[in-house]
Structure 1
Amino acid sequence: MIVPHLHDVAGCAVTLPEDLVTLLGQVRERLDRLWLQDDAARGYAVVLRSYGELQAIVAESGPEAARALAREQEESMLAVAEALGTTEEAARARLLHYEYLGR
């Protein structure tokens, strides 16, 4: 069995909408700046609270998205892996992680 190089697989991943890429980049930049503020303890607390909010968003929609993707692509984990830009093994693990995240 030929295992595709991860770079090749990532090139097949679904493209995120440009506005979402921009928004995620802004969130990342803002969180990075919080690390550098004068009141470091407060910055760290804000970063951790922000991560908690992001985790809550994922926990709300991740399980259903994972189940739906698994249902639609049940015959081909390779298609799921390509859409996620990863290997089949990593895609399977990611789907399981998100599917059971809310339980």
Structure 2
Amino acid sequence: MDDMAGLAVKPPEDLAGLLTQVRERLDRLLLDEDQPVTVLKAADKLEEIVARVGPTAARLLTRGEEETMPEIAEALAMTEKAARARLTHYEHLDS
């Protein structure tokens, strides 16, 4: 799996930075400021975002023959089985 990580698609730097900031802020809220309810509310908002964009991304990846499952798995740095499960998970969020 370590070999695959080097081949994985990485998010754009600005998005990676924002995700890091969100994670760090949530950690501070939880650990330093004792705000678990606030963290749960933020997690709910993050899940809403994932439920909105995840299914669309999964459909775009699987609708054509441009990307094969081995290529998708490599880009996600996971096994084909795990990549298929991830895509299925996102596709079902849209139901």
Normalising by structure 1, we get a TM-score of: 0.85
**Which runs of 5 or more residues in structure 1 are unaligned?**
1-5
Structure 1 runs of 4+ with >6 Å offset: none
1:92 aligns with 2:84: yes
Counterpart residue type for residue 25 of structure 1: T
Counterpart contact for 1:77–1:92, Cα < 8 Å: yes
Normalising by structure 2, we get a TM-score of: 0.91
How many Å separate the matches in 2 of 1:9 and 1:57? 27
Q: Which of 5, 11, 15 is 1:16 aligned to?
A: 11
Q: How big is the alpha-carbon RMSD for the aligned residues of Structure 1 and Structure 2?
A: 1.4
Aligned to 1:33: 28
**Which runs of 5 or more residues in structure 2 are unaligned?**
none
Aligned to 2:43: 51
**Max Rg structure:** 1
Identical pairs, percent: 55
- In the TM superposition, residue 85 of structure 1 has moved relative to its aligned partner by 1.3
